[in-house]
Amino acid sequence: MRDDAVRDAVSADPRPATPSEFAPGGPRNADLPLTPQPSPGRASVAFDLPGVFVGTAEYGEGPTGCTVVHLPAGARTAVDARGGAVGMSGGYDFNHAICLAGGSVYGLAAAAGVSDELLARRDNRTKWDELQLVSGAVIYDFSCRDTAVYPDAELGRAALRNAVEGAFPVGRCGAGRTASAGKVDFGRAEFAGQGAAFGTFGEAKVLVATVVNSVGAVIDRQGRVVRGNYHADLGERRHPSADYAAAIGDGAPSVMGNTTLTVMITNVRLTDVELLQVGRQVHSSMHRGIQPFHTLTDGDTMFAMTTDEVELTGVKPTGLGTLASEVAWDAILSAAE
């Protein structure tokens, strides 16, 4: 029986809190009359970064979705991709949009739809300095459903069209629509989602948003497992290390199909090297909230972006990374509420 915490987390959704292993196969996009739907989640996190727009959309038939972060003026970007199963397109060092999606490798089509929509918005102008750069990354979310529906170009266009400034939808929405965590054994996984948090430190601002679809369980600041690796027979969640220790020698298979996707946006002007290192610092820090992290079957990807608006004063980039790391932990916990 599910405990009260899990029941509360999914009270608005009739689907079970614990995903079930799916039977391979099922209808794909071409087999269904798909229509993009809004994907608002349970709430949204407000942020004060002018010129940053966020939109989500989903196919309820999946269910699966995508999330688009749109910066019309563009932003310098550093990418940190880790783990053994990265699914990414673009990976540019400057982007006008980031598209996160379900559907594994097929979901990369959503980023192409975002690119096409941006081309249309510029009246099909294709001069070199008019090109709109879009990077995309995907999670494997087929494990929690019995369809082959994936976020396609039309869903990517819809998410961009839904984008609004200053609000990031959180919960089981967008790219996190069917994300799950704590897959030491798939029968102990629980639904997660996408989360976000925003921090202001003097003139410096940091937004971190993350889609948690991890092998690892979500851990709070008290060291408690708050999502994933739920043992129904015990009525409790356990730290994955206890189960791995017990499984040594048993030959238990690894659970495939995972990944945590993260976007960090700051208004602080950083050099290319500093931006990359701060992104790596924050990405590394996220292991405190997701354990284990960056595994062989994860494709964890961080897009660190700056709008280059203010100078960093009082601290070095390491200090900014330390503050942003706490924001990232808040974002992880937001995904698991």
Helices (H), the chain: 4-9, 109-121, 153-161, 240-247, 272-285, 317-335
Beta strand pairing call for 88-89 and 53-59: unpaired
Helices (H), 62-197: 109-121, 153-161
How far apart CA 328 and CA 330 sit, in angstroms, is 5
How far apart CA 166 and CA 192 sit, in angstroms, is 23
Active-site choice (56, 64, 77, 259): 259
Beta strand pairing call for 167-170 and 217-219: unpaired
How far apart CA 208 and CA 254 sit, in angstroms, is 29
DSSP 128: G
260 is a catalytic site residue? no
Q: What length does the chain have?
A: 337
How far apart CA 191 and CA 4 sit, in angstroms, is 15
- What single letter denotes the amino acid at residue 249? G
For the beta carbon of residue 60, count every other beta carbon within 10 angstroms: 14
| Catalytically active residues, by annotation | 259
